[in-house]
Amino acid sequence: MISFNEDAKIFTLQSKGFMYQMKVLKEGHLAHLRAGHPVPDPDLSHLLRPNELPDCSETGRDKASFMDNVMLEFPCGGIGDYREPCIEVMDNAGHLACDLRYVSYSISEGKPELKGLPATFAAAEEAQTLSIKLLDNLLGLEVTLFYTVFEDLGAIARSAKATSLKDKLFIKRFLSLCLDLSSSSWDMITLSGAWARERYANRVPLHAGKQRIESSRGESSHQFNPFIALAEKGASEDSGKAFGFSFVYSGNFLAQAEISSMGMPRVVMGINPQNFTWVLEAGESFQSPEAILSYSEEGIGGMSRTLHDLYRKHLIRSPYVSKKRPVLINNWEATYFNFDTDKLLGICREAAKAGIELFVLDDGWFGKRNDDNTSLGDWYANEAKLPGGLSRLANEVNALGMKFGLWFEPEMISPESELYKEHPDWCIHIPGRSRTLARNQLVLDYSRKEVRDHIYSMVKAVLSSANIEYVKWDMNRNLSEVGNAIYAPDRQQEISHRYVLGVYDLMERLVSDFPNLLLENCSGGGARFDPGMLYYSPQIWTSDNVDPIERLKIQSGTSLAYPPSAMGAHVGDVPCHSNGRITPISTRGNVAMFGTFGFELDLTKISKEDLEQVPALIAQYHKCNDLARDGDLYRIGNIFTDNTWDAWMFVSKDKSEALLEYVQVLASSNTPSRRIQLKGLKEGFWYKNDETGMVLSAETLMHDGLDMWIKGDFSSKVIRFEKAKV
Ligand code: GLA
């Protein structure tokens, strides 16, 4: 998979359908040669255009033009390359230039862990890792670049480690990935949004200058997701070249494409350099988070399927990754803060009758919390609301045949809390400056171990006090006034990253101490839906918006990078609490079946007709979830370009089963029904339609299609196909 041509000094990384090559130049700079379709040629040095861009190592004449135009693997600032660098280092004299040259390489089987950071993993026979050592002699700075190639997937994982060999250095920027390409005919796809409309897909042509998305909010954010794609002009959902770039990190990030004056794109991805400086004392190292590069020649759909497989096989560690998750009911939209044991058990009794398997008690069970103004940090049950505490409630829920789960927001502190009275300095703050509230709460300083230890001991005590089999870990505000009274002045700019490392430390402790716990991440809906979180939890709450029509956009956008099996999806009440829309429960169910499936409404209050449909929806989930969870996703509709309908398919890996889901947003009269062409089936196979019993060839289903005869706005259907003998 990884080889080095000693004569031409070319590294070749080859995985399924993807080849990545780089070359050590005469002066030791590491150039990027090409990334794309595999080719057999042993030496493609001519792709660096030596006639137009002579390597100036002999004369040194106009070296700046060379540095500013050559394709590089890990560009440095301050030495004539004026495009976006991956690294900026300040020495003790205040100088900023850095010039990294090749030293050596090594290749190992499998993939080493990144200590303290989430990262993809692979067994020795599944992947190889290349480490390339670079050195700036003057600074005494060693940088090791890591490239892992996954044998069965068109993807590589990249990260970098900086080590100071002699003096104190200030790392002002240290990105994880750079990809220089030679032609500018690409569109950039990003996922942007806000609370209740997370991850809408945008596609725009690359143009001269820098097109960037970022977060400086302390988490990956509602506003932009740490993912971009470059799709070749004209590439569609099903054909053409597409690169996916995904950052395995949950904090401040930068993802940027820049078109240089020569029309060449440079993509970079990593920790956002804004408000970041990391101090390296002599002998210390800094490891960057990991970034993923994936490549597909089957369009945007192929890129998504590669990322889904990569994350399901090589990132999500949870034992639940390919297990059916219990059908849950969450009381948030059913009761908000207004509940007691009796009310909750009333909902649970109806839920148990309908076949629901897990009850999740959301916000409001602890301290004195009856609204969102108090008690974050006081992690003990409110016995006034829950007499007998959590263990009594959990026992009663268990007695109904259901599991019990619990909501926490462990990173937060309410100014009105016992914890704040005891430790007013435990929140992130700048001494002397007023502390900006959001949802009337402050963020705990997870860069401090004593804070993490204290919170974890409370969380652990609660989890050990009752039979709690699921946790929803929430995070409901962004960071502000990032600082503390503890760190030295020159280490204050480390706090945003140390905060994220602290969150990871706690999640690691949680999943190690409670290995069978089903953990769902959440952040004011879906503000921290990122690969970093998937390392710890197999599912993430996708959005507080459970309207199935707006969910089409949210789930479709999210699916560009993330597997549906990771998307928390619930059937909510009508009118929908976010937008007032009324939709049939069948469509709410069909759309929630795309992801993990659950309910978020008061079953004692919904209409009799709707209640009667719940068991059938659950039965359908049990029938379809294996396919949705482990199969390949094919998007058929594009809700961003035509919002009158949507459709998608899940196809089993062996192509013997498939599921078509169709939603008609807007019905029309006296027009032929919409004819949908299926995708992903295997030519030569015949499939039986479980709705009509009709057996048709894959060819007919994919080329002629099926008529979606259905009446009514917001109506939907799910059809299952099984391979048939003819
Ligand atoms: C966030 C979550 C919701 C709910 C509330 C509770 O908004 O996204 O699902 O848990 O917090 O306060």
Is the confidence at residue 10, as pLDDT, over 80?
A: yes
Please, are residues 704 and 697 in contact by the beta-carbon 8 Å criterion? Answer: no
Q: Is 518 helix (H, G, I), strand (E, B) or coil?
A: strand
Sequence-separated (6 or more) residues with CB below 8 Å from residue 212: 254, 255, 256, 257
Please, are residues 514 and 266 in contact by the beta-carbon 8 Å criterion? Answer: no
Q: Indicate the pairing of strand 706-708 with strand 715-724.
A: unpaired
Pocket perturbation via mutation, ligand 1, pick of 219, 361, 475, 476 by most ligand atoms within 8 A of CB: 476
What pTM did the predictor assign? 0.98
Query: What span, in angstroms and rounded, lies between the C-alpha atoms of 662 and 137?
Result: 61
Query: What span, in angstroms and rounded, lies between the C-alpha atoms of 81 and 378?
Result: 52
Please, are residues 140 and 296 in contact by the beta-carbon 8 Å criterion? Answer: no
Query: What span, in angstroms and rounded, lies between the C-alpha atoms of 57 and 136?
Result: 17
Across all residues in the chain, what is the average pLDDT? 97
Query: What span, in angstroms and rounded, lies between the C-alpha atoms of 602 and 137?
Result: 66
* Phi, psi values for residue 103, rounded to 5°: -120, -55
pLDDT at 418: 98
pLDDT at 723: 98
Query: What span, in angstroms and rounded, lies between the C-alpha atoms of 53 and 445?
Result: 50
Sequence-separated (6 or more) residues with CB below 8 Å from residue 93: none
- The atom of ligand 1 lying closest to the CA of 541 is 8
- The atom of ligand 1 lying closest to the CA of 525 is 8
Pocket perturbation via mutation, ligand 1, pick of 544, 546, 567, 599 by most ligand atoms within 8 A of CB: 544
pLDDT at 441: 98
- The atom of ligand 1 lying closest to the CA of 522 is 8
Q: What is the mean pLDDT of residues 51-63?
A: 80
Is the confidence at residue 59, as pLDDT, over 90?
A: no
**Domains of the chain from N-terminus onward:** 2-314 (2.70.98.60), 328-413+447-478+513-625 (3.20.20.70), 645-724 (2.60.40.1180)
Q: What is the mean pLDDT of residues 18-33?
A: 96
Query: What span, in angstroms and rounded, lies between the C-alpha atoms of 455 and 504?
Result: 14
Catalytic residue, from 91, 474, 573, 602: name it: 474
What are 157-204's pLDDT values in tens digits?
999 999 999 999 999 999 999 999 998 799 999 999 999 999 999 999
Please, are residues 718 and 625 in contact by the beta-carbon 8 Å criterion? Answer: no
What are 226-239's pLDDT values in tens digits?
999 999 999 999 99
CA distances from 21 to 16, 32, 186, 221, 358 (A): 14, 7, 20, 33, 49
Say whether 309 is catalytic.
Answer: no
Among the listed residues 172, 138, 64, 522, the one whose alpha carbon sits nearest the alpha carbon of residue 330 = 522
Please, are residues 269 and 157 in contact by the beta-carbon 8 Å criterion? Answer: no
Residue 131, beta-bridge partner list = 106, 146
Pocket perturbation via mutation, ligand 1, pick of 329, 374, 441, 522 by most ligand atoms within 8 A of CB: 522
227 CB-contact burial (10 Å; exposed 0-12 / middle 13-18 / buried 19+) = buried
Is the confidence at residue 341, as pLDDT, over 80?
A: yes
pLDDT at 38: 97
Among the listed residues 325, 390, 334, 389, the one whose alpha carbon sits nearest the alpha carbon of residue 358 = 325
Query: What span, in angstroms and rounded, lies between the C-alpha atoms of 392 and 383?
Result: 11
- The atom of ligand 1 lying closest to the CA of 600 is 9
- Per the structure block, which two tokens stand in for 12? 């070749």
Catalytic residue, from 136, 544, 573, 602: name it: 544
What are 69-78's pLDDT values in tens digits?
999 999 998 9
Residue labelled with tokens 């998608």: 648
Query: What span, in angstroms and rounded, lies between the C-alpha atoms of 414 and 412?
Result: 7
Say whether 544 is catalytic.
Answer: yes
Query: What span, in angstroms and rounded, lies between the C-alpha atoms of 37 and 664?
Result: 38
Q: Indicate the pairing of strand 539-541 with strand 567-572.
A: parallel
E strand or H helix at 149, and its extent? strand 141-150
pLDDT at 448: 98
Sequence-separated (6 or more) residues with CB below 8 Å from residue 272: 214, 215, 216, 252, 253, 254
What are 383-397's pLDDT values in tens digits?
999 999 999 999 999
Q: How far is CA 203 from the centre of its chain?
A: 19
What are 681-718's pLDDT values in tens digits?
999 999 999 999 999 999 999 999 999 999 999 999 99
526 C-alpha to center of ligand 1: Å? 10
What are 94-123's pLDDT values in tens digits?
999 999 999 999 999 999 999 999 999 999
What are 249-281's pLDDT values in tens digits?
999 999 999 999 999 999 999 999 999 999 999
Say what the alpha-carbon torsion angle 460, 464, 468, 474 is, to the nearest 10 degrees.
-10
pLDDT at 182: 92
Cβ atoms within 10 Å of 283's Cβ, excluding its own: 9
pLDDT range class, residue 56, cuts 50, 70, 90: confident
The sign of the CA dihedral 518, 478, 498, 95 is positive
pLDDT range class, residue 504, cuts 50, 70, 90: very high
Is the confidence at residue 58, as pLDDT, over 80?
A: no
Q: What is the mean pLDDT of residues 334-341?
A: 98
30 C-alpha to center of ligand 1: Å? 47
Which DSSP state fits 594?
Answer: T
Is the confidence at residue 655, as pLDDT, over 80?
A: yes
pLDDT at 63: 85
What are 660-683's pLDDT values in tens digits?
999 999 999 999 999 999 999 999
